[in-house]
Chain A
Amino acid sequence: MDLFKDVITGICFFIGSLSIIIGACGLIKFPDVFSRIHAAGMIDTGGTAFFLLGMVVQTGWTLITVKLLLIGVFIFFTSPVSSHVTANLARQKKMIPIGRKIGKLL
């Protein structure tokens, strides 16, 4: 049973590590603020969810699980809020997204 837990935790940590490294590379490579927000959201959802899931599997039902779930729920609620505020403010400061112009939308 212990080996089973370790294998599940290892798989979760592998997916989380892959997710945060891909997100960081995207944060460097992407050309614009609006596309970098996408990479940051990748880190905030994929990385955090899988790392916390791996640690929850490792601990079982204790108080530590409640704290981990608290961190997860908090990050899941605040990450879209800060991303939305950043994009909204960048739009108010007349920043144009790079890409094709579709009609009068941009």
Chain B
Amino acid sequence: MYLAALIACAISGILILVRAILGKTTFDRILAVNTLGTIIVIGISLHGFYMGRPEFLDIAIVYALINFIGTIAVLKLFSTGSLGEVKK
């Protein structure tokens, strides 16, 4: 059961990665990488349950946090050209 769900996650991840490679604009790539992060969070949780060690969920929580911060940071860098340095 967990293995089938992991295979579904892998197929979906490969399809999303195709969109991230041949996306036309930058927003397509950013959106695809953000979605891939969500798929990886689900995959880490399922892998922990599949191996019988659900302590992997801590890593999944940290991955979700880093994914959100990274998406917002890349969008801000693409929008304004800087990450918000203090002007002197």
Contact = CB atoms under 8 A, between A and B. Distances in A.
Interface of A: 6, 9-10, 13, 16-17, 20-21, 23-25, 27-28, 33, 36-37, 40, 43-44, 47-48, 51-52, 55, 58-59, 64, 67-68, 70-71, 74-75, 78-79, 81-83, 85-86, 89-90, 92, 95
Contact of B78 (A33, A43, A89): A89
Contacts of B19: 27-28, 36
Interface string B52-80: 00100110110011001001100100110
Given A16-B5, A40-B34, A48-B42, A82 B15 contact: no
Mostly helix, strand, loop or mixed at chain A's interface? helix
Contacts of A24: 11-13, 15-16
B10 to A, nearest CB: 11
Interface of B: 1-2, 4-5, 8-9, 11-13, 15-16, 18-19, 25, 27-28, 30-32, 34-35, 38-39, 41-42, 45-46, 49, 54, 57-58, 60-61, 64-65, 68, 71-72, 75, 78-79
B5 A75 contact: no
